[in-house]
Amino acid sequence: MNIALIGNPNCGKTTLFNSLTGSNQYVGNWPGVTVEKKVGQVKKYGVSLIDLPGIYSLSPYSMEEVIARDYILKEKPQGIINILDGTNLERNLYLTLQILELGIPVVTAVNMSDTLKLRGDHIDYDGMEAFLGIPVVPISAKKGINSDLLMEKMLYQRKHFKRPSICYPPVTQKYINLIKNKIKEDGFENFFAPKLLESDAHCLKNYTSREIRIFEEISSKYEQESRLHDRELSLADSRYQVVEQISHRFIHRNPNPSKTFAEKADEIVLNRFLAIPIFIGLLFLIFYTTFSGLGTGLQNGMEFLMETLLEQPLSGIIRSNGVPDWVHGLLIGGIFRGISSVLCFLPQILILFFCLSLLEDSGYMARAAFMMDCLLEKIGLSGKAFIPMLMGFGCTTPAVMAARTMENERDRRLTVLLTPFMSCGAKLPIYALFTGVFFQEHRGMVLFSLYFLGMLTAVLCGLFLKSTLFKTSQAPFVMELPPYRMPGLRSTFYLLWDKAKGFLIKAGTIIFSMSVVIWLMQNVSLQLHFIQDGSDSILGRIGSLLAPVLAPLGFGSQEAGIALLSGLIAKESVVSSLTVLYGGNPSLGIADHFTPMGAYSFMVFCLLYVPCVSAFSTMVRELKSKGWVLFSFCLQMVAAYGLTFLIYQSGQILIR
C-alpha cells in the first residue's frame, strides 16, 4: 500500500519519514531539501511511505510542486499523510485545503505539538477534526510522539473514508460548482474545478478550445462578481478565509508570547554590523576545526593506525609465508597503501559534513542565504544557490543535487555549472599531501588561497555567463526563514554514517580497483612483462604523452599526468596513485619531482579541473542536455588549464 507524505518545506516531514521508516536520509532545515523521491517501508503496518518534496501549494510553480502534483494525480496513492508545522498553522492549512479537494484518504499530523504546549498555545484538535472531516493527530516527529496513532488512523481512514466537503465563501463556491458541472467526474473533479476557475495553465492543457472558452466565460464572470476582481487573488483569498475561520475557532495562541528565541537570536545574528563578522567567524571556525585543529589530530591518529598497527604486521605475515615479491608489492605497495592513503582523510571529511549539517539543521544556513542573496544576485544567482555552493565544499555530488531546490531552470543550471569550482572534500588529501611537503609553515594561508581561488573562479565565470548565455530575467527570491531549532543528533549521526559508508564503499571499490590497475599498469610493459624500470611501463607511456601538455603548467612529469587521469575516477585517487607511483612514499616522491611553484599549480589544477565520475554523472543528470554537459566540461578544462598556466608562468617571472 502506497501512502504519500506531503507538507510544506521545513515542517519536519523528513524527520517524520525517518522516524516512521527508520531509513537514514538527509534531514535539513533548508526549505525543500527533499527533492528526490524517497520511499521507505513501515514494516509494522505493511506500508510503503513516499516522501514527496516540500511544497507550499499544488499550483505547479516550482519543480517540487510539479513532482508532487504529478505523483498524486498519476500514481494515485492509497492515502496521504499531510504534516503541518504546528507553529505556523495558517500557511500550512492552505495546502491542506487543496489536498482535501483531491478526494484521497487524508490524515493530518500537527507536528511540534510539544513545542506548542510549552509556548502556552492551545489547539482544539477535536474541533479541527470535526471541521475538516478528517483525523487530526498532534505529533512530535523529533521525539516520535504519536507516530503509531498516526499510522493507525491512516489505515482506519483508508477503509472508512468519507469525502470531506469544505465550503468556500458563497461566490467562490457558486463558481466552483458551475465549473464542476461542466467537467466529467474522474475522481479529481473537486480538485480540478478550482484550478480551472483560476485558469491554471497546466490543467487547461487537457481540454478542448471550446471547453476552455466556456471556462473562461465563467472565470470572467467570477472576476466581476468577486470582491477582489481577480481570479487568482479571489480564489487564494477564499482559501485563506476558510483557514482564518479555522484559526479563529480552533487555534488559541498564547496572547502574551515571550520574545521567541529566534527573534532574540536574529537580533544578533542578523544585526547590521555583527552579521558579517559572525558569518565569517563561523566559516573560519569550521575550516579551522576541519583542517587544523581536531581534523589534523584525528588524521595523524589514523595514519599511525594504518602504518604502524596494520601495515607492518601485515607485511611481515605476507613475507613470512614466502609469497613472490610481486604479490607482496601488489598487496602492500599497491592495494593497501592506495586505500590507506585515502582512509586517512576520512576524519576530516566527516568533521566537515558534521559542521555543515549542524548549520543546516539549526536554521542558520537559511540566514546565511538571506545575507548572501545580495552578492549572489550580482553573479546572476539567488541566495538559495548559497547552500549548494557551501555543500560543494563537502562533496560536489549532493551539492549539485541540492541545486534542485531552486525554482527556476536557469538558476538551477547556472548553479550546477558553478558548484564544481567549490573545492570538494575529496581534494583535501591532495592539498594536505602537497602543503605538508612544501608549505608546512604557511599551510593555512595556502589552503585558504586555494579555496578562495575556487570561489573567485566561480564568481568570474558567473559574471561571464550572466552577461552572455544566461541573460534572461531572474526568478523572484521568496524564501522562508525557518525558526531556529536544536539539530537532532540522531539525524546528524545518520547522515555522518551515510557519508562514512559511502566513502568506505568508494575506498573498497573504485579506489581498490584503481590501485590494482595503476599498480599493474605501472609494473607491466606494453609487451605484458613485469619490469623494474617504471618509465617503460604502460602507465609510463601514457604519462609521457601527457607530460609535454602539462609542462607549461609546471608539472610535466609522467606521474603527475597519470595521477590527474586517475583523479577523473575519484579525486582521492590522485593521492593513492601518487603513492603507488612513488613506491609507497608520496611525500619523498613529490619532494623530488615537484618545485614549490609546480606543487602550487598542481593543486590549482586539481582544484579546477573536471570533477570525479560520480559528480560529473550527477551533473549530466541535472543539466539534462548534452550541449550543457559538453559546455560544463569545456568550461572546467579551460578554466583549469588557463588559470594554472597564468599562475605558474607569472610565478616563474616573479621568481626570476
In the complex, which residues of this chain contact other proteins (CB under 8 A)? 56-57, 59, 61, 88, 90-91, 94, 228, 232-233, 236-237, 240, 259, 262, 266, 270, 272, 275-276, 369-371, 373-375, 377, 383, 407, 475-481
Strands 106-111, 79-85: pairing is parallel
- Pick between residue 236 and residue 531 the one whose CB is nearest to other proteins: 236
CB of 191 to other proteins, least distance (A): 16
- Pick between residue 88 and residue 617 the one whose CB is nearest to other proteins: 88
CB of 279 to other proteins, least distance (A): 9
Q: How many CB atoms lie within 10 A of CB 477?
A: 17
Q: Return the H-helix or E-strand segment holding 190.
A: helix 189-197
Q: Is the dihedral of CA 577, 581, 582, 585 positive or negative?
A: positive
Q: Return the residue matching grid coordinates 489547539.
A: 123
- Pick between residue 56 and residue 503 the one whose CB is nearest to other proteins: 56
Give CA–CA dist 38/402, Å, rounded: 15
- Pick between residue 56 and residue 594 the one whose CB is nearest to other proteins: 56
CB of 107 to other proteins, least distance (A): 23
- Pick between residue 1 and residue 475 the one whose CB is nearest to other proteins: 475
Give CA–CA dist 405/366, Å, rounded: 13
CB of 417 to other proteins, least distance (A): 23
- Pick between residue 480 and residue 536 the one whose CB is nearest to other proteins: 480
- Pick between residue 371 and residue 469 the one whose CB is nearest to other proteins: 371
Give CA–CA dist 540/550, Å, rounded: 15
CA Rg, the chain, in Å?
Answer: 29
Cβ 226 vs Cβ 172: under 8 Å: yes
CB of 84 to other proteins, least distance (A): 13
- Pick between residue 241 and residue 513 the one whose CB is nearest to other proteins: 241
For the sheet with 47-51, list strands across it: 38-42, 47-51, 2-7, 79-85, 106-111, 136-138
Q: Return the H-helix or E-strand segment holding 636.
A: helix 626-655
- Pick between residue 56 and residue 336 the one whose CB is nearest to other proteins: 56
CB of 621 to other proteins, least distance (A): 25
CB of 378 to other proteins, least distance (A): 10
Cβ 307 vs Cβ 340: under 8 Å: yes
Residues pairing with 350 in the sheet: none
CB of 407 to other proteins, least distance (A): 8
- Pick between residue 173 and residue 595 the one whose CB is nearest to other proteins: 173
Q: Return the H-helix or E-strand segment holding 81.
A: strand 79-85
Give CA–CA dist 422/420, Å, rounded: 5
Q: Please provide residue 248's backbone torsions phi and psi, each rounded to the nearest 5 degrees.
A: -65, -40
CB of 7 to other proteins, least distance (A): 14
Q: How many CB atoms lie within 10 A of CB 577?
A: 30
Give CA–CA dist 90/84, Å, rounded: 10
Give CA–CA dist 540/567, Å, rounded: 17
Integer CA distances (angstroms), 593 to 216, 559, 584, 596, in order: 75, 9, 15, 10
CB of 555 to other proteins, least distance (A): 40
CB of 249 to other proteins, least distance (A): 16
- Pick between residue 311 and residue 377 the one whose CB is nearest to other proteins: 377
CB of 275 to other proteins, least distance (A): 4
Indicate the Cα dihedral angle 613, 618, 621, 626, nearest 10°: -40
> Helix or strand or coil: residue 207?
coil
CB of 484 to other proteins, least distance (A): 11
- Pick between residue 199 and residue 492 the one whose CB is nearest to other proteins: 199
DSSP calls for 340-360: HHHHTTHHHHHHHHHHHHHHH
- Pick between residue 237 and residue 536 the one whose CB is nearest to other proteins: 237
Collect all residues with Cβ–Cβ distance below 8 Å to 600 and sequence separation of at least 6: 434, 438, 439, 446, 647, 651
Give CA–CA dist 496/401, Å, rounded: 18
- Pick between residue 221 and residue 227 the one whose CB is nearest to other proteins: 227
CB of 188 to other proteins, least distance (A): 20
CB of 277 to other proteins, least distance (A): 10
Determine the straight-line distance between the first and last CA of the chain, rounded to whole angstroms.
73
Q: Please provide residue 47's backbone torsions phi and psi, each rounded to the nearest 5 degrees.
A: -120, 140
- Pick between residue 257 and residue 297 the one whose CB is nearest to other proteins: 257
Indicate the Cα dihedral angle 396, 402, 404, 407, nearest 10°: -120
What is the CB-side half-sphere exposure of residue 454 using CA atoms within 13 A? 27
